[in-house]
A and B are shown apart, each in its own frame.
Chain A
């Protein structure tokens, strides 16, 4: 089937909107051009009434960033809903090291704010709730999260945190992540990054007994949340290579590991959108450089591992890295070639997240599937066009109140051991991205394909009609709407309860799932035989069964 003309599709997508809305949405849709990456509008407010994929600041803060750390006790301050919905729904896996290790992830704690507190303030109640939580759980640290009404009624959650920190003798910190701040989850990531840096990472003495991690080649993995066990398969590769993982932000993480982050020599940034703030702050304060990596896709994983080895520039490490890659690639190649034979040439769309719409394109590419349209739910321009556009990004009124934390170099800030230009050149040779650099999604997309930011339900439907994609990757809210059209859909927030999808093993898992979906028998059974263009003859019906 010939590809529809993207310019025409864009025009048609906008037709249904009121004129003012259409003008706004037009800026969120660009036709990709590898010669000249066009400018796209992102991280601005969604037009009210549009059926959007986006969530809120609280979801980005409590749900995404704080959710995966098993021994920081999160308390949601507000009415019951927010805490309830973010209770175990993100599939962050965790593996306590012993039977007695703290693990609070199965618990949902809320102040269940009532009308009386809306009127007279909820600080006393919050104070009481924190004390009660301490009595039951005796955690090392408590995180307080604000929901919508908290800012409006004027509760000073930071003051409460400070007071109780003193009273209870543990680290207690609060997040002003009310749902109306910013324009999406993204604001919550930023707020969470800031506070974690202040209260945990750069905290003078987070706890008395946080030891300095031991081992060679110390790294942090930033922006990996261990959905469906992704972090586990990555951790295993690090172990085999012989690099020391100090901390992950925040999949399978603990409070102490986050507090040790400053001791790493290198930061790997997986999801740039949600965690680049932390990477930059660690760089400024402690002189830890970061590199962009992507563990989604087998080739990408190999590149990521090679980049780590190239950074440390150690012969033994390089050898071990190549061994690991060679071992893993055998199974990868077998699965890839087999599945590609059934999937090559099929078309995919991805509308999801703040990095996944980019990362997962490699998995499709590796089995010869074509991505015809993609876009993020809550990313910024730099995630689309690359960090080179950062100086040109205008912060609008909706995002201005999200503080850009000013960080000073720490007294013990490390100087780079080696000429950073040489390191940079080694890294660039692998995937074009040097130190502290991210190229964004759009440069990798073929000319004539579409980038669409914050896609709406209406647009998704029309895209299905025009492109007849073979699969669409999205989130839970879109999945079943897409499948009703007879198009298989995979959730890339929850992996439809499968996974892991990261690294080599994850690539194989993903391809198998994809093969299962696009080639499933059910799609050919949707239309009843009596409604098909050529109804079967009695003879054909009786061919199965009969006497």
Chain B
């Protein structure tokens, strides 16, 4: 290249700077940048990516990138490694955390059994993930909107969903907030800002992102959205859509992945090849990411607090991965010993269990009383069993409600169909379980 062209090139590369003169007159070594304030002139200017050129051909391997480390506060014996990370929640809050985890665990055990006995049609437990629920819920405000998948009952417990509300939904009776429309565990509560669950997986994810965008647009918004989903659901296209929209549209949403190692029988190593779901965040979607020990309630709490502050301050999303182990079966329709060993389950059900970790912390602090725990569990058991008996006897909603809520107002054709069914029922009363339904 001629000297003239070289100097023109250098001029263009460092336009408007005094140092130009020196560069043109003096040096001829194009590769060396003399001034650190100049942009590297070997960065490409493609709209699609701002990255340097290289002359060495090399496949970028997944192994070249270290996995995202797992933040934790307590070890499995309840000791805090770094005292500065103790959230200093105080006895009252920690006791509420402990009690809520026990309540969830106890209620789950009984309701699971009640399905086995044919009392409710279906149930899903939360064993092993109590800390993910309680830790995250405790770090949020009630005005933060929550979307879930199906294994987040502890979030509802923390927010104040009552035992009778849980069980009424499972029975789909007249007091079910969902009006008997859905299978058990499809909870929802307007009052507690928890969007009603639906069965299709990951569909809630782009919805959560849209809701966050709308909330961001409100004057003086100070609420975020949290969207829970499993590592299996994260394989769905809707998950990809959610990450991408959250990032490109700057949405204050925490995308909370409960990575519990299983999607029914499919272990995570058959679900994805990358570095979990957290690995997708920074490089895949340009999203700030945190990975935590989901069995450590304080780790979840601290990380959630940080994530919440970030999303509200920046109006940008966070990918939050809470690693845990699904101690229970997928649901009452599953027997997980068909695809994993009882020994493995037992480890996570004992020494690695979130409740036992918090218990040991409380023991170290002198806040734990064995008798109190036993009494509390007994009290919860009694309450749950009593409520089952009560909820079981309640009537289902009137059959006419089957036609309600399809549209905001019942359209003519549904009025007509309801009338048709009414005539049919009146002519064949004995063939329909009317006595179980409110008249």
A pairs with B: no
